Every structure is written in C-alpha cells, then in structure tokens.
Structure 1
C-alpha cells in the first residue's frame, strides 16, 4: 500500500502504532467518531492513529481480552458496495490465517453500524509499538537530505520483509504495495509488514467488478506490469522490494520525476540504475541482486521471495549471490500499442496526503497506507504502432506514452494477439492479450456467476472445471475461489478450477454469521468462539463442521459468566471434524470488590499484569495477590509518612506485564523510624 510522486514524504506520524501502515493519503486525522465502538461494543475506539483514502485507523481497547488493539474502519463510500465488503471480509480472513513473525496480525473482522445506521466494515489488528521504515529513513537524513541506512541493516531489514512475503506468497496472498511506509520496525527491532491483502482487495475490485483497467499503487514502487494494467503476481512484490532496497542503501528511489506519468514511464521503459552509482562503496553483488529484482520481465526476477532473501543474507556474510552472472540489465522492451492517458482519467492523491500516524503495525497504526492513496490510471488501448514513440507532454490534457506505456497487450512478446471482440464491458479483463503460446495470468473469476465465468474463460482461451463449495457466505451460484488464482500463471488452453457456492447455512446469521467458513482441501478455518454463549459456540462449531469440547470453567472478569472465555485452537486451519476446546467464563472472583476491586482483572490472562498493591493494608495486599494468583515477597521499611502496615512501594509496578504466578515485591511501612 505507495503514495503519490514522493511516497507520502510530507506525512505526519506519531510513535506507537497499531497494526497498520503510515496512512498514505492522509490530510488530517479526525477524532473517533461517528462510531465509538465496533464488534457489538467489544472494541472501544479511543484515539485516531491515521486516516487514508480507504479507511481510518484507531487505537482501541478490546474489552473481552483486555488488550490494546488497532481497528481499521472502511470509509462509508466503499462500505456501501456489498461486493467490495465481501472481498474485504474474505481478505481479512485470509490475512488472519497467515500467522508470521514479520506480518502484523489480524485478530478479527466484521461489520457494525454507526449512529446513522450505515454499515461499517472493520478489521482488528495487533497494536505494535515502533516506527515505519519511512520514519527511520527520515530520521537518518543528513544535511543533503539523503536518507540511507548502513548496508548490514538495510540487508537484514529487507530480508525480513522478504521472509514475510515468502510466507504470504505461499499462502496465495500478494501485497501489491510494498514500500517503506508499509514496513514497521518495532521497539525490539522486529520487522513487521503491514496492510496485507488490502491492496489485493482493491485490485480484485477493479478487475472483477469495474473492469476498467484501473491501476492501483504508489508510483515509485510500482512494477512495470502493474503500471501497464496487467495482473500483479508474487514477482511484482519482488520488484517493489527491489525499489525499496535501492532506496534503503542510496537514500533515493530508483525512478522519480515531477509527475506520476513520468515515474510510471520510467518503470516501463528506462533501465534501472545501480546502487553503486550513487554509493561507490556498495558491493557489486548488491548491484546484481537489485538489477535482477528490477528486471522489466517478471520471468527474469528471483523465483521467490525466499530466494531473494537468501541472496541478501549471502551478501551480508560476504558471499556472492548465487548465479550472479551478468544479469545486470534486462532486454529492451519491444514496441507495443500506444495508449492515451487523459487528465480526466488520472486521479492522484494530493501532495502531503500520504500518511499518518503512529508507528506500529501492519495495518492499523499509522492509519493504513491505503493502496487507494496512490494512483489510479484508467487506460484506453489505441491502434498498434510500428515503432517506439517518445513521451509527449501535452499540458493537463493528454499524455501519450508509446512503446511500453499503458494498456499494451504484453510486455515482452513480439506479435500482439488480436483482441477478442467479446472482451468489452464486464469482460474487458478476461482477454489475456498475450503472445500466442506464452503463459499468462488467468482472469479473476471470483464473484462471477457460472455462466459469466464460462464466457470469461472462453475469451481467455481456458477450460473451466466447476466444483461446488460448501460453507461460504458468498451468494448462491457465484464463484468463491479459483485455482490457479489470478496471481499465478497458466498456459493457453489450460484448465482453471472454480468453486461455486451452494448457498449458506440458514443458521449463520447474527452473532453466528462468521461461523460459516469455506472448506478448502478438507480444512476449515476455526471460527472465533470467544464471547459466545456455550450454546451458540456449539452451534457455531457445527456450522463450521467442527466439534466442541468443554474444558471446564475459567475465572475471567472480562468475559460475562456463561460465555466462552478461551478457545484452543484459535484462528487457524484444521481438518474438518476437528475438536475445539473451550473454557466457559465463571465471571470474576467474588472477593474482588471494594478495596480489592480489579485484583482479579488479569488473574487468568495469558499475559497477566501486576495488580495495584500500593496504599493497601498488608492484609488487603496479601488477599489481592491471592486473587491475582501471584506471590508476594514482603519487606519492611521505616516511613514517617505512611502508617505502619501499609504498602508504600511495589516492584514491578502495577500494570506491568508479569509471568503467570510470578512474584511481586512489596515494601511495607513499619512506621516512623
């Protein structure tokens, strides 16, 4: 999720973000309202972290689990589109299942209503304290304005980003907007990639719904195929990583210009510069890796994010990258169709509208560097030309990009295929426009009816294998998923398998709506049972084709008695028919009242906090510790201010995270010396 021509360099931010990105496209941050809470009151919005063109992000309190989270709420104009909301929910579920150290975790998602009765889709993410790489670069800027990192740190940071991408790519998710503003470094140095899936949701929306050839992303980090309106795949992310790595080690992006069009033109047409041109002390091996990542032809880039990460780690240890060879420059692009891009069809976020927020998380904190905060370009194909044309600047009316500009049928072929006359309107994205005999990305069939999918497959020259899908919230008789996905490649005449919804479980309504999960290869994602009544939890598990085992009562003052306080496993994929263990809340400790109120607040939490013991009598402090399930180590100290028998100090302080059953030291006044 990259901003306008400067990647949102005129942004504002505050430390301590929450699972979000630097809200790219931010012009101001609003207070937390028209809605004050989501999740039926579970997540109370406390303060804004940022705002982008697509969503607003808030720091929030999770009243069920007693933790701080980041909540992203979709803007009303996008929320009114049911198809987009469904894609938004589906992507949130997919990202929640990733579970990787270097990816900001998604805890929950759903829909609520604001005071006006409008639907408010939301995503709940972990709240991570730290700063974005953009902020890190800005803090290191020298007197010349150059923002660069030491080579070892840049390599380690980029390798961590690639680890996250390797995991997401293996799970079928493409980021589509890798850039410094979407990468966080926490207070302990952990790298976190934010906003997974959001850019993909937008791209799917543009491709499968509007079919207008919309291009989404940040110009400085956009791959040539994205600039040309072609589907992005895993190698598109690697190109963006190459742009970011170049910036980390040199302090400037490889392609920049005074306008969005000039930047996109350079990505498509101009050879990438080498880092050592700016910093001669950088090793040739780094030049080779960057050149391969920035190759115009996706086929010539690294085969996977894991492969690129391994090469960077070899460079860090002084070893040459594997297969370095002479892959420093790619072949020149052949002539293509020229394209007219009018000023009316280009929408770019205004300068300074690029970011926001705290430093913290993968999709929440700084408010989500939304993909829509970048650039959207609608392209129109014109008649083919026989030779390359120069970039012609026509003031604010039209920009003619030739020989490798927008909307070309294929980046690297020689003889463009004749467009299918049926590829118009809703089917405009079905024509692969590829060179005969070459592999290409299949269309996105998601959301189509079976008839529409068959027509689209016919235009793409593909065979469709239709299967039924159970346990999906998609409308009946619509495609819910496909293999290979639109991010993969398929040979001409190949087969794409699509799953069509057979309709939903009639019980999956209200609080049980999220219980209906899709079965994939004999596995389902465990629904969130916590907060449900024991009876509803059993129904929810049955809807998801899972069993429930009652593990007994659990004291939990944060969860009303009779409702599920804990579950194992949580949100992960398990085999159909698996058993989920649940613990039912028995409420709080009945002794935790009056001066002992709050002593049971974190007694059974997985990460308990020290209770407040200061100013309590020795007897109350001991009972509070017993309720909190911690041990006391008592010391006496003379004190002229506090009466004998009263706690005057404690270590660790109240609110500090402690290990379950840990020890708290207290100093008790023995009276005046």
Structure 2
C-alpha cells in the first residue's frame, strides 16, 4: 500500500510494523504537512469486530489527547474497505523492546516510568475508560524520557460513552499481565488496571513477570491462586516500601489494592525521591530467592515446593477474588466444564488484532502488542464486561484528600514536594532556565517568553505578543485546600469572572499529578470581554497541588482557543511542570 492515499489526505510512505490483523504505516498528512502514524485494517484483518475495536481505540485515546502520557489520536476514517486511525508519530521504543535489548532498568527508572503510566491511567479512569491491557508492549519510552500508553483497543468504556461492546463471549487480555477478576470474568473496574500495572512494575524491577514463563493455563491459575515472590527477594537492594507497594498492586482482591492510579503515582513519587542511588543486583533467573533486602511479611512469600494442585473450578469462581457476581450453579458448572477446552487453544486463538513492530524496529511508531502469542482471551463468565453494571464505573476514584498534617509519620508526612526537577534530559532547543529566587523556584521558560513579578507568590510569563500567558505560583502555609480554591475559581469563571468573560464552559474539576503528588485541575473555554480581543474564544488550564507541609504549587495558562495555540501552550505547560525545581523557605 506504499504510496496509497487514505481519505484523500494521508499518504502511506513506509510500513513500520505489523501484527495479527493490522499494519502500522508512517504517513504524510498532505493537509497539515506533518508525519503521522496510521494503523490500517484491511483485507482479512478488516472484520467487523476488529473495526469496532479500532474505532473504540481511537475514541478512547482522542478523549485523552490532553494527557501527554497517552498517544494522541488525530483522525479516524474509512476508505472503501479500509478502516484506519491516524495518530501522532512517536519516536522511541516500547518497554517490551527495551527489556529485550537491555534487561531491567535501575529501580529509580522503573519507578519513574510506572509513575508516568499511572498519570495516563488516572486520566483514563476519570474519563470512564479502563485500559485492560497494560503491559510493556503497550508502553512506549520516548528519547526525552516521557512514557506514553498505547492501545486502547480492548478498553472497557462506561455506558455513558454509548460504544458498542467488543464481544458477548470473550474477556480479552494478555495472560502474563491479566488481573484475577479479568481472568474469571468477574466484576472489574479501574483496579484491574492497577493489578496489570503491578505486573509491569514487577517486570521492570526483576526482568520477569510475576509468575514467570509458563503456559497460558498455568498463568491463569497462578494469577488467581498463587502468592507472588517479592521483587526484593529476586533483586536485592529494592527498598521495602517498593516491595510493599508492588505486592499491594498484585493483591488477589481488588479491595486490597490501592484505591486509584493517582494514589499509586503519589506513592511511587515518594519512593522515587527516597531511592537515590540505591544499589541493586541484576536479576539472575538461575539464582534462588534470597532473604536480605525484603521486608515482605512471611504470609506473602510463596510456600516451598511446587505450586499446589488447583481445581480448574477455582478459576471460574468469582469468590476467589473476594467479590464479583455469583451465577446459578448450572451456569457455573457449564462455565467450568468449558474452561479446559477453551484454554487449550488460547495461545493461538488470536482473537485480538496485533500491530506491534518487531523487536528490531524501534522507530517508535504507534506500537501495540507483540506478536508472541501472549495476547490471549479468557472465556467469559456470562457477564458481559462491556455492559454489566458492576464491571466498573471505573470509579473516577475518589480524589486523594489534600494533606493537612505538617509533621509526624505515615502517608501524609511522605507527601512532600521533591526538590529537584523530574526531567533529566537537556532542555529543548529554544528554552532557558529561570532562577526565581524570590519565589523559591527554578523553572524552564521558552526563550521567546518574558517574565514579570506577580503578587509576591509567583511569576507570569508571556509569549510573543502576549498570546500565551503562563502564571506559576509557589507558596507556603496555604490555609485553604487547593481543590477548594480551584472549585471556587471555576465557579467564578462560570459566573462571568466579574464581567471579564462570558459563556464559560468546563467539564469540572479533575485529578492531576504535579511533581509526583496528586492534585487537581480544570479547563475552561470562554469569550473574553475585557480586552482588545473582545468576543474571541479563549481557553484556560489551571492545575494545583498542596503537599503535607501546606506548600502549594500552582500553574495557570491562558491562550486563544485555536489548535495552533493549544498545541504550543500544552507543550510549554508540560515542560515547565516536568522541569520545575522548588526550594525550601
């Protein structure tokens, strides 16, 4: 198909990856003169179910386009019998390819990468989307250290999205990273993604998945029934706090896992700040687990000897995870009887289309699954994961409360801002570092932005002509919770902001992550009424977070509501947030 033009706009130039039923191409967008990645379904791969999955993936990712940790979707369309989705062309390689080439990274990198995955999941869950297939092949690492989540093709959507279900008969996923409830077809919500994230973290820390290289059926049994060996037993030097968090993510019951992706991100941020240069030992699969370096309770460590024999019925029992729907005995019996035969063909059934470039191609196109047969489907329980009311309104998980304690120990005391920037690569071309000692912060600023004092708590930076205005505040002893202030601010905008704006529209307060801590933010679009640009449509993004010491960091950006300004403003905001350094009072 090289040279073929889809939709009269996207000229396919180079095939960069392929899998089960799809092909990924590098393409030239003739309208906007940019390089994009195009995932194409055609021929035998263009089945109705595959087309539905591709459209679902496009809608899920498009709804999260403001999150820098999700690959941006630009377009979705049909050209004759060909169905395609157009995405940003991402440079980098998947964590799957990284692990194959270099082995597990250092714990600090592993923690940071998974923290960024949680930032993507936090946005997805708040939007009513459960990914259901978090694994190394669906996470891409870009050259600047940014991590992006890929492939929402089998995501669960809240019914409010009005999307067609994938299938009445299958619960899909990838066996080494599937949650117990996903395997059982039990009620499932955002915490299923947290279990898969725990599997990902475990693999990055140790170089192996929690239950090793087994056949699909054995993996299903292990996820549902077997305890996990603590990462610190396989790789000495991993902090006890990281062991504990990993094992909590891998809890069999969703109720025993952390409550939200934002909570996990905050805990990973705290662990990352404490890691420093912790020495660890590379994972050696032939070496037996060793005790030192792990503070995992004995009850969580595996018993000696081979895994216990398991009745296949255990896999079919929702009670194995401590919850879930119960079925009449006749349905449970039929479901269990069908399990053995169904599992025998799972490794080759290939019900999901795959499009991950092979390990030799790290060009970083929008990659998804690896084609090693690990992407499998478990038989469903009779409950439809896409329509069952109990299967996840992914609890736009209750936002983490703003810490109010200023001393002591425990979770609140750990929630303090780091004193160094999270970004580690050199500043992008055309940026400078501003040292604002009066406001106790250093942050990167585009070279063509100018700064001015604000009100003693922060700085205002304006782009050429003042089209983009970014305000950065850093304050101590803030009496009011940041979320409360944001709610009041949003209400003020909606009332017309004292005559300075009209027709203000917003989706409301949402959870965000700033400097590894859970915060809040909102976006609002409105007509300006207080400047020479009266009547023009403008957009504001406001984000803030307060730590355990009542120290607050706050960002606000305002710009004309056009695609060009939006793209630059978000990029500037993201870079500032990643690179800011705060100083103690």
What TM-score does the superposition give when structure 1 sets the normalisation length?
A: 0.47
Contact 2:18 / 2:357 at 8 angstroms: preserved in 1?
yes
Q: Distance in 1 between matches of 2:59 and 2:164?
A: 21
Provide closer, same or farther for how the CA distance between residues 489 and 308 of structure 1 changes in structure 2, counting only shifts above 3 A.
Answer: closer
Distance apart, 1:163 and its partner CA: 1.0
What is the Cα-based RMSD across aligned positions, in Å?
A: 4.4
* Counterpart position of 1:100: 67
Contact 1:231 / 1:486 at 8 angstroms: preserved in 2?
no
Q: Deviations over 1:98-143 (max 9, x none)?
A: 1211111111111112xxxx2x221111111111112222222xxx
Q: Distance in 2 between matches of 1:91 and 1:57?
A: 14
* Counterpart position of 2:375: 374
* Counterpart position of 1:649: none
Q: Residue 110 of structure 1 aligns to a residue in which SS?
A: strand
* Counterpart position of 1:444: 387
Contact 1:354 / 1:373 at 8 angstroms: preserved in 2?
no
After superposition, residues 72-471 of structure 1 pair within 5 angstroms as 72-77=39-44, 79-81=46-48, 85=51, 88-98=54-64, 99-113=66-80, 118=81, 120-140=82-102, 147-195=103-151, 197-200=152-155, 208=165, 210-212=167-169, 214-318=170-274, 329=300, 339-340=336-337, 341-343=339-341, 346-349=345-348, 355-357=356-358, 358-359=361-362, 364-366=365-367, 369=370, 374-378=375-379, 407=381, 428-429=382-383, 444=387
Provide closer, same or farther for how the CA distance between residues 300 and 348 of structure 1 changes in structure 2, counting only shifts above 3 A.
Answer: same
Provide closer, same or farther for how the CA distance between residues 203 and 230 of structure 1 changes in structure 2, counting only shifts above 3 A.
Answer: farther
Moved more, 203-212 or 301-310: 203-212
Count of residues in correspondence between the two structures? 362
Contact 1:37 / 1:45 at 8 angstroms: preserved in 2?
yes
Larger Rg, first or second structure (1 or 2)? 1
Provide closer, same or farther for how the CA distance between residues 74 and 523 of structure 1 changes in structure 2, counting only shifts above 3 A.
Answer: farther
Q: Distance in 2 between matches of 1:106 and 1:136?
A: 24
Provide closer, same or farther for how the CA distance between residues 296 and 582 of structure 1 changes in structure 2, counting only shifts above 3 A.
Answer: closer
Distance apart, 1:522 and its partner CA: 8.2
Q: Distance in 2 between matches of 1:373 and 1:279?
A: 25
Q: Which protein has the bigger helix share?
A: 2
* Counterpart position of 2:523: none
Structure 2 residue runs of 5 or longer lacking an equivalent are 276-294, 302-318, 327-331, 398-503, 508-525, 528-535, 542-559, 569-585
Q: Distance in 2 between matches of 1:175 and 1:342?
A: 27
Aligned residue among 2, 6, 25 for 1:58: 25
Q: Distance in 2 between matches of 1:306 and 1:139?
A: 30
Distance apart, 1:293 and its partner CA: 0.0
* Counterpart position of 2:405: none
Provide closer, same or farther for how the CA distance between residues 62 and 207 of structure 1 changes in structure 2, counting only shifts above 3 A.
Answer: closer
Q: Residue 154 of structure 2 aligns to a residue in which SS?
A: helix
Q: Residue 20 of structure 2 aligns to a residue in which SS?
A: coil
Aligned residue among 69, 83, 91 for 2:36: 69
Provide closer, same or farther for how the CA distance between residues 582 and 103 of structure 1 changes in structure 2, counting only shifts above 3 A.
Answer: closer
Distance apart, 1:285 and its partner CA: 0.9
Q: Distance in 2 between matches of 1:367 and 1:261?
A: 23
Provide closer, same or farther for how the CA distance between residues 294 and 344 of structure 1 changes in structure 2, counting only shifts above 3 A.
Answer: closer
Distance apart, 1:199 and its partner CA: 1.7
Q: Deviations over 1:302-327 (max 9, x none)?
A: 111110111111112229xxxx9979
Provide closer, same or farther for how the CA distance between residues 206 and 39 of structure 1 changes in structure 2, counting only shifts above 3 A.
Answer: closer
Provide closer, same or farther for how the CA distance between residues 489 and 359 of structure 1 changes in structure 2, counting only shifts above 3 A.
Answer: same
Contact 1:568 / 1:582 at 8 angstroms: preserved in 2?
no
Provide closer, same or farther for how the CA distance between residues 139 and 210 of structure 1 changes in structure 2, counting only shifts above 3 A.
Answer: closer
Moved more, 43-52 or 70-79: 70-79
Contact 1:69 / 1:125 at 8 angstroms: preserved in 2?
yes
Contact 1:347 / 1:376 at 8 angstroms: preserved in 2?
yes
What TM-score does the superposition give when structure 2 sets the normalisation length?
A: 0.53
Q: Residue 129 of structure 2 aligns to a residue in which SS?
A: coil
